[in-house]
Structure 1
Amino acid sequence: MNNLSSEESNPKPNSNNVLKAVLALVALIAGCLAYMLFESKQTSANQQEVIETKVIELADTRVKLDSITTQLESQIAEVTKLGGDVAELEKAKLALEKDKKELNSRYASLENIKDNYAERIKNYELILIAKEAELVQLREENSHLTNENSTLKTEKSGLVKSIEEARAQNREVSSINRILTEKVTRAAALKAESIKILGVTDKGKEFEDSRYRSKKLGKIKISIQLSKNDLTEKGKKTVLVRILDPDGYTLFDTDLGSGNFEHNGQDLAFTIKRDFTFDNENPHADFYFDRGAPYRAGKYTVELFAEGFKIGTGGFEVK
């Protein structure tokens, strides 16, 4: 009887072992849940980074396609004017418009944008280069025909010598007048003493940094200080702003007011244009540009033009 009573009164070691096993299992389950939560957060962060990168690629591709569209239209207009064949250019323009529509329709997926469009952009650029070579020949041919026609008319009238003498005198006078006019115009031109590029957050807070973070950069403020110049006519002035990305392409979006202008015989694209009043008392002006898309990393160049002259150059860097 005493032996049986002793065995029944000592079950505690077994109960303790069961309790320890249960606690160990609970700790193991808690550890697994914590690890799964950490992995979920890490995956979410990685997905967000990929999405931001794809959005930048999308915006960059749109800018390049818009820039190529502008160049194609410019070449089509000139080739048509010179009597050349625009069939290839028109075909390329149709394909380009199709690519732009396709790009817009793929906005939700953002998959393989850079890989899908890099080769197409390169092909369009090759077409532009080839057609530019043809344009050079067309210009020469048209110029040659114009000169021949002028010579025939002069010989027919029998006034070749007198006309040439008069033309020579006119050219000389025109050349002198042109030089004087250019000197006066250049002397009266606006000139930017300093250009400062500031970042502006989405909340409107301005800040200055040597390298701007793309996520923090909502829009940019271009602040210019102009030289005082008594020769410059006071009143409304228009400044064209070109912002060149790290690859040298002009940031171009017709919805933001982008367009084209001629400078030193070249057809150039501008990003935005703004008006301000020049009073020669406080020659300062600020311009804002809201791209509406993240900036990719690299160095950006800012060029300012007014009244036919390049009045200043600045830049900023995005990391």
Structure 2
Amino acid sequence: MGMFLFSCKPYQNTKIRKNQITYEDFRADQRLYPTDDGLIKYIDKGKGPVIVLLHGVPTSGWLYRKMIDPLVANGYRVIIPDMLGYGSSDSPEGFEIYNAENHAKRLLLLMEALGIEKWSHVMHDAGGLWTWELMKQAPEKIEKLIVLNTIIYDAGFYPPVRMKPGGLAKTAMWGYRNGVTTNTLLKNLFNQGLKENTLNSLDIEGYKTPMLEGKTDAMYYFYSQTCNELPDYSSVFENITVPVTVIWGIHDTMLQWPPQQTRATNALKVNGEDIHFIDEKHFLQETKAKEISYKIIDFLNKEN
């Protein structure tokens, strides 16, 4: 069994793409911002109107690596944070430090430190919860909102991992950070989250390395707390006045659009022409990066 777990590679494709970025190169481009809770690493590239790309769980800013160049080339300043507990950012001990309120507070402090008053905002997966909390704390900051397969309501939310707090969940986290079940987690995640898992070893490196560095406390909080009781942000939705577009991998089984379609469309006040369905599952940034980048650019350039 041990040999099986260690040999269960989370990728099938061994071919490296031309000019493919490595995780080492990605990290070399990151800058750091010290918060009271720990260091946050982030990408800051380009000049022009600001767009923030916010990851979810258990990913990091690495998820958006293929979208940086198209957005920068079209005149945008791209900010991609690794939220505390993920990617290259610090992973301090504790659990409530990773709740949505604290994630949002730290992101607001980062943007203030960068001198950015307003921005367009892209979020994915659990990044939606952190975004709704941010809009609750500072509703004037986001100018335009781009929704990518993110958490809005309980309806359609079927996370690949959901645990009860306690020993079993902590043991699972131990397995992820010690290489025992890391490959199994990632293989299942991307086999379920992509129509076809074409990721190679360099792609997986950016997802696997943070876990092997011990960054699992934030994951533990999300999988054992947040997943079991999603916050209600109905009051935030009622006050949304900014333009919104939805770009959704329509084959997603983890975050399904159809069960919440009517409710989410009405709550976010999104026009029908601003809802785009992509022929992919959950991790559309991996296989449809250019397509969704250009849809975002078209939306941002649109007169509202």
Taking structure 1 as the reference length, the TM-score comes to: 0.19
More strand by share: 1
Taking structure 2 as the reference length, the TM-score comes to: 0.19
Structure showing greater radius of gyration is 1
